[in-house]
Amino acid sequence: MSYSIIGQYVPAQSFMHKLDARSKIVCVFTLAIVIFLAGTFQTLLVMAASTIVLAFFSRIPVHYYVKSMKPVLILITFFFLFHLFFTRDGTELYSIGPVAVYSGGVAKGSFVALRILTLLMFASFLTLTTKVVDLTDGLERLLSPLQRVKVPVHEMVLMMSIALRYIPILMQETEKLSRAQAARGADLTTGPVLSRIKALYPLLLPLIVQSFKRAETMAQAMEARGYQMGAKRTYLRELTWRTGDTLTICFTVITTVGIIFLRS
């Protein structure tokens, strides 16, 4: 749970928390595209520096961001080492037998690692500063025009909302089961990789059973409350678009145009 940012909301008094969920969703998806459009290391550094500024203004403790990076370090390390040993551009810096490290490999690996970190930071801003209910409501409003072509937008967003809510719950269940197995003498953290994988087998069956029980309980609760697919629904809380949302969208558009202009 301490390493997951999915489905977690950290309440705070910041301008990012007060923004409408729709504006934050649009900005994050736009900035994600901009990150992949950034073709120079300097441009990506500017965007990475902007995440540090936004993290400061979000008033969320730093350890939330630090812990959220730990699960992705394996992926980042893999991409960095891949480019480090397989990219043959630039001058040769070091070599041991057939293995050689080039300056282009170092630059490319650092560029990809920084791109993934920047993308994760922007995604964490969305999840940490937006409640799951507001996030799904905002996404449903943005996708509502697709209902005209018979796309089940509400059902799709409902499934996403349930998934976001159940990811932390499943992680809690996994943590409880792992502690119970450890109390019975199971070793889940040391030893060879294959032995640790085999030690996870006793966790799978109880976790699957608990998941089906929770799904059945929620289905019965929805039926008891008269839920019907495709029915027209109302909202308990209406989303409010403010001036700050418009300014945020305008700033994001200007940034996107600037990045595209620098690429051309």
Task: Indicate the domain borders of the chain.
Answer: 1-131+236-264, 166-229
Helical (H) or strand (E) element with 92: strand 92-96
Nearest Cα to Cα of residue 135 among 67, 228, 237? 237
Residue 146 has a pLDDT of 86
By percentage, how much of the chain surpasses pLDDT 70?
A: 92
Render pLDDT for 121-151 as a digit per residue (tens, 0 to 9). 888 888 889 888 888 888 888 888 888 888 8
User: Residue 13's pLDDT band (boundaries 50, 70, 90)?
Assistant: confident
Q: Please, what is the average pLDDT of the chain?
A: 82
| 93 phi, psi to nearest 5 deg | -100, -35
The residue-averaged pLDDT of 90-119 equals 84
What are residue 101's DSSP bridge partners?
Answer: 94
Other C-beta atoms within 10 Å of 106: how many? 18
Residue 196 has a pLDDT of 67
Residue pair 203/181 in contact by the 8 Å Cβ criterion: yes
CA 184 to CA 166: how far, in whole Å?
27
